[in-house]
Structure 1
């Protein structure tokens, strides 16, 4: 028994060292050392602490520099590369005409954040614009798509033929569906040839498919698609596929922990497993999406978070 207790204690110390390294070199200094200690204290036994820290060591938190790289790749993969490939297929000499081709595409395109200006997507577009050296006039808000003129809806700018929504994460896909009647159907009624596209850095495969099946976006795609194995608490979870894990680290213990402590960290919308039961271990330097496990970000009088999450109320973010 003593050897097992010593093994667990050593394992905990190793995980804390690993998390310290992740914090310093990958997570942009998050979370703070005190936050880690306070979060561990949520769990009553050393075995629970070891399993909690094991999950924490698998968390994917993207720093500001990493997000910039992702945004640069998103722009290249979904905007530049398709434009280049289309014109090559059309037999156009892109070497001599690329600047004009790109400028013409810009004149007909606008980029739009998902949600209102206070939400994370708007923050994301600031870096999307700066890292890709794009002009400010290429970015608009939802309120700048339409105008009501002469008794009917029309486009504020009739020269725009392509609207592109940019997001960090497609979880359930439910937010995108809200745009179907208010934006997409209205736009298609005015001009059926208008192209409305939705791109994200990350997406669950089920969320991506939900948008494709339930909206009229012309294109929906993501830089990285997260399959079912990214659900942390399921039998096929990728985080427990390593056969060399010690016996005291296993999925049954973690699921029992979630059940034991869920009253302390359950989210009103996402329960104990994250919004839409996404069970993700994913976050960004500016916020943790509620699709991630609440045990990492929920904050209450009886629960200390691993990462701080900025909650939103009526579309406005607030720190709790």
Structure 2
């Protein structure tokens, strides 16, 4: 058995504390230990521990909190208070259509022929039960149009490259195109997605509760480990070691090991993990068991 370096012991202690608080519930230490056993030797163990320590992990409650912020910004943008209504203005009443003048419709980024997945189910549940959106105001972005006083807001837990949302809007989003009465509300988004969507749909306003930048990509994060002396191995850098494990041991396609779009994110949710995150976190093979299930 490899002897843990002192810093590895500290990392495990921090990870254990995160697992025993609401910060990462219900992610448990036993599940992490099972994943860690696949990493061989002190270099790989350090890599795995740093990845888990730096996870951007979001519970359903945290997603709801970020969506609340983004939905509030959307309400203020599309239906701002007047001087006369300032004292009685409620962004929740605006979005739940309790105020006259505008009608808001909402939906996750799926179309009517494809049932929503885990994230879509979460979004629908939050819209109904946490933000009081009536079922009659839930609408998928299918090929239909809005009346002049209607607004449509697509809501999702996250967007990172922006390509998936682009595909849905182009294929089934005439509800959102050709006017300025549509918005996208995201719990968490990467600047790459914001830039991509703004380029393709400049008329659609985007609101997000939490913004990631290129500094959150694995390549940049791992450079920081080296600079801060968290990575003590001069003969190999973290990203090269990661690619070796993903390609040579797990059997993944080398060019896809950082996840969709090559961003190499460290993002995971209580209900799953986006495919823009590191492949070792979510992809299964004959030689590899992921930490999270998609």
TM bin, normalised by shorter chain, reads 0.7 to 0.9
Corresponding residue for residue 36 of structure 2: 40
Contact 1:184/1:216 (8 A) holds in 2: no
How far is 1:180 from its partner?
A: 4.0
Whole-angstrom distance in 1 between the partners of 2:184 and 2:72? 15
The 5 A counterparts of 1:227-306 are 227-234=213-220, 239-240=224-225, 243=228, 245=230, 247-248=232-233, 252-263=236-247, 264-265=249-250, 271-306=256-291
Corresponding residue for residue 29 of structure 1: 26
Corresponding residue for residue 107 of structure 2: 112
Deviations 1:62-102 (A, max 9, x none): 112222222222222222x3356x333xx433335769866
Corresponding residue for residue 194 of structure 2: 208
The answer to whether 1:178 aligns with 2:167 is yes
How far is 1:305 from its partner?
A: 1.8
Corresponding residue for residue 135 of structure 2: 136
Whole-angstrom distance in 1 between the partners of 2:98 and 2:255? 44
Whole-angstrom distance in 1 between the partners of 2:100 and 2:258? 42
The number of residues matched between the two structures is 284
Any unmatched runs of 5+ in structure 2?
none
The answer to whether 1:95 aligns with 2:87 is yes
2:244 partner SS: helix
Aligned partner (choices 76, 79, 82) of residue 77 of structure 2: 82
- Tell me: CA distance 1:97–1:302, structure 2 relative to 1, closer, same or farther (3 Å): closer
1:103 partner SS: coil
Contact 2:19/2:27 (8 A) holds in 1: yes
Whole-angstrom distance in 2 between the partners of 1:30 and 1:132? 26
Corresponding residue for residue 57 of structure 1: 53
Whole-angstrom distance in 2 between the partners of 1:125 and 1:266? 37
Corresponding residue for residue 127 of structure 1: 126
Whole-angstrom distance in 2 between the partners of 1:125 and 1:268? 35
Q: TM-score of the superposition, structure 1-length normalised?
A: 0.76
Contact 2:246/2:254 (8 A) holds in 1: no
Corresponding residue for residue 156 of structure 2: 167
How far is 1:295 from its partner?
A: 1.4
| Two-structure CA RMSD over aligned residues (Å) | 3.1
Whole-angstrom distance in 2 between the partners of 1:194 and 1:220? 11
Contact 2:141/2:173 (8 A) holds in 1: no
- Tell me: CA distance 1:105–1:216, structure 2 relative to 1, closer, same or farther (3 Å): farther
Deviations 1:117-158 (A, max 9, x none): 322134223113322233222212234x62xxxxxxxx4x74
Contact 1:230/1:238 (8 A) holds in 2: no
Whole-angstrom distance in 2 between the partners of 1:266 and 1:212? 36
Contact 1:28/1:285 (8 A) holds in 2: yes
Any unmatched runs of 5+ in structure 1?
147-154, 311-320
Contact 1:180/1:216 (8 A) holds in 2: no
Whole-angstrom distance in 2 between the partners of 1:225 and 1:194? 23
